Amino acid sequence: MTRMLRVVVAGFALLWSADVLAHHSFSSEYDGEKTFKISGVVTKVEWTNPHVRFYVDVKDADGTVTNWNLELASPSALARNGWNSRTLKVGDTVTVLGYAGKAVPTRGAARSVVVADGRSLFAGTADDAGGAPQ
């Protein structure tokens, strides 16, 4: 094998391994047995790969506001489920059903989201713990 071919092969192997290491499995970060339901106001939306993220301010019974960090599927998976980059907007009031984070109590994997216009959209992927929690 020529030196140039070895360099090219090594480069592709390095790029592939970086993608594999950057992605995570559902069960490594979220508890498929522990669900949540929250309602609040969207404060930020990050429409990026590998997963879309959005943040919601949730007001507790005592008035304390907590910002939740919520993960969705990839942009392409969400598009197949009726989403686009304008589905969630800062200031929208949403209700989120999802699976709790293992390490951070205000982090979760959103599986369905009721958006401002009343539509309920599935937000999950085939690799999560299943369909939307009840």
- With contact defined as beta carbons under 8 Å apart, do 123 and 77 qualify? no
The per-residue pLDDT for range 44-59, each reduced to its tens digit, is 999 999 999 999 999 9
Predicted model pTM: 0.74
Q: Is residue 116 part of a domain?
A: yes
In one letter, which amino acid is 125? T
The region that residue 85 occupies, defined by phi over 0 for left and psi between -120 and 50 for alpha, beta otherwise, is: alpha
What average pLDDT does the structure give for the chain?
A: 81
Q: What pLDDT does 112 receive? A: 93
Q: Residue 17 has which token pair?
A: 């391994």
In a domain, 11, yes or no: no
The 10s digit of each residue's pLDDT in 80-118 is 988 999 999 999 999 999 999 998 999 999 999 998 888
What confidence score (pLDDT) does residue 18 get? 40
Written as one letter, the residue type at 51 is H
What is the CATH number for 76?
2.40.50.140
133: closest CA among 81, 83, 96?
96
Total domains present in the chain: 1
Residue 5 is assigned to a structural domain of this protein: no
In a domain, 8, yes or no: no
In a domain, 130, yes or no: no
Confidence (pLDDT) at 117: 84
The domain in which residue 67 lies consists of 26-122
Q: What is d(CA 95, CA 41) in angstroms, rounded to the nearest whole number?
A: 9
Instruction: Please give the Cα distance from 19 to 50 (Å, whole number).
Output: 10
